[in-house]
Amino acid sequence: MLYFTIRRLGLALLVALTVSILAFLLLHLSGDPALALAGEGARQADIDMIRKTYGLDRPLAVQYADWLWHILQGDFGTSVYFKTEAGPLILSKLKTTLQLGMGALAFALLISIPLGVLAAIYKGSFIDRICLAIAVLGQALPNFFFALILIMIFSISLRVLPVSGSGTWQHFVMPAIALGYYVAPAFMRLIRAGMIEVLGADYIRTARAKGLPARKIIFKHALRNAIVPVVALAAVQLGYLLGGSVVIETIYALDGLGYLAYQSITYKDYPVMQLIVLLLSVLYVMLTLAADIANAWLDPRIRVS
């Protein structure tokens, strides 16, 4: 198990590194970074100065190697846009994104568990189809569009929630819903499938034969078993939610990692962009690893195999 974990960890780092190389190259494809950094009104003198200052006149491979060498020494570079240390800058935004990710995950579970259970109980019926429709809608609606609908309802019509910003916990409600709704269908389908399978199992039939109340059968016997794979999925989805919050954070002007990623792409802030990509890919891979371990722990059959 230890050997397996270490091997997975090594592989994970390799993946992160590959992603960072890709990100590094892709950013350079979208135009001259010095020009983008200088801004629209910049004249040639400004651009030349920037090119020289940030070493953008060197070959790409040299720039990448230089960056990697510094990372390995614990020097994460300075944001070329905000002119502050990239490491602390990213850490300061991580909290907002984590709050948003956890909130979204909580919301996703909050709606997907009851809907999944309901759909399983009424498999094939009208209620099942309604639940399925809710799920399909969640994945079909682009989340920026859903985010705007939420703003229209809660901020413009009802005026109960602030449109944007991250000052109070109220600011997180709409973003968490918008983000959570997108991942909820995956949970819902998993729970529905699991529940259908479990509900047909012998021990449930036994429980029913014993005359146990339905509430106890569903929540104590069936759901507990059906939820096992959800734990693993939740870990992976959290990784997605952290990386996938770019659009939502931008729309709600939440000052998190997603918004910072958006800014760093817009302003060609290479050190920050590369660090975010690296951090997110490492985080994602770690969460997948955690999910694997959790799975093995929850389900002895996986451990044996």
The 150-189 contact track toward another protein, x by CB under 8 A, reads -xx-xxx--xxxxxxxx--xx--x---x------------
DSSP state letter for 160: -
Amino acid found at 274:
Q
Position among 14, 125, 224, 231 found at the interface with another protein (CB under 8 A)? 125
> From the CB of 100, what's the least distance to another protein, in Å?
15
Q: How far apart are CA 300 and CA 239, in angstroms?
A: 25
Q: How far apart are CA 85 and CA 23, in angstroms?
A: 20
Q: Which of residues 272-301 bind another protein (CB under 8 A)?
A: none
Told to check if 42 binds another protein by CB under 8 A, we report yes
Complex with another protein: residue 235 or 254, whichever CB lies closer: 254
Position among 59, 61, 73, 213 found at the interface with another protein (CB under 8 A)? 213
Q: How far apart are CA 118 and CA 115, in angstroms?
A: 5
Told to check if 304 binds another protein by CB under 8 A, we report no
Amino acid found at 215:
R
Told to check if 126 binds another protein by CB under 8 A, we report no
DSSP state letter for 169: G
Q: Which of residues 4-23 bind another protein (CB under 8 A)?
A: none
Complex with another protein: residue 120 or 241, whichever CB lies closer: 120
Four-residue CA torsion sign, 152, 154, 160, 161? negative
Report how many residues bind another protein under the rule CB under 8 A: 73
Position among 36, 104, 238, 291 found at the interface with another protein (CB under 8 A)? 36
DSSP state letter for 220: I
- Nearest Cα neighbor of 47 from 60, 32, 61, 62 is 32
How many other CB atoms are there within 10 angstroms of residue 168's CB atom? 9
Told to check if 206 binds another protein by CB under 8 A, we report no
Q: Which of residues 62-101 bind another protein (CB under 8 A)?
A: 81-84
Complex with another protein: residue 27 or 285, whichever CB lies closer: 27
Segment near another protein (CB under 8 A), from 39-47, 57-65, 233-241, 288-296? Answer: 39-47
Complex with another protein: residue 222 or 234, whichever CB lies closer: 222
Cα dihedral angle (274, 275, 281, 286), rounded to 10 degrees?
A: 160
Complex with another protein: residue 180 or 239, whichever CB lies closer: 180
Angstrom distances, CA of residue 230 to CA of 108, 113, 191, 208: 11, 10, 7, 25
Structure tokens at 173: 């409600």
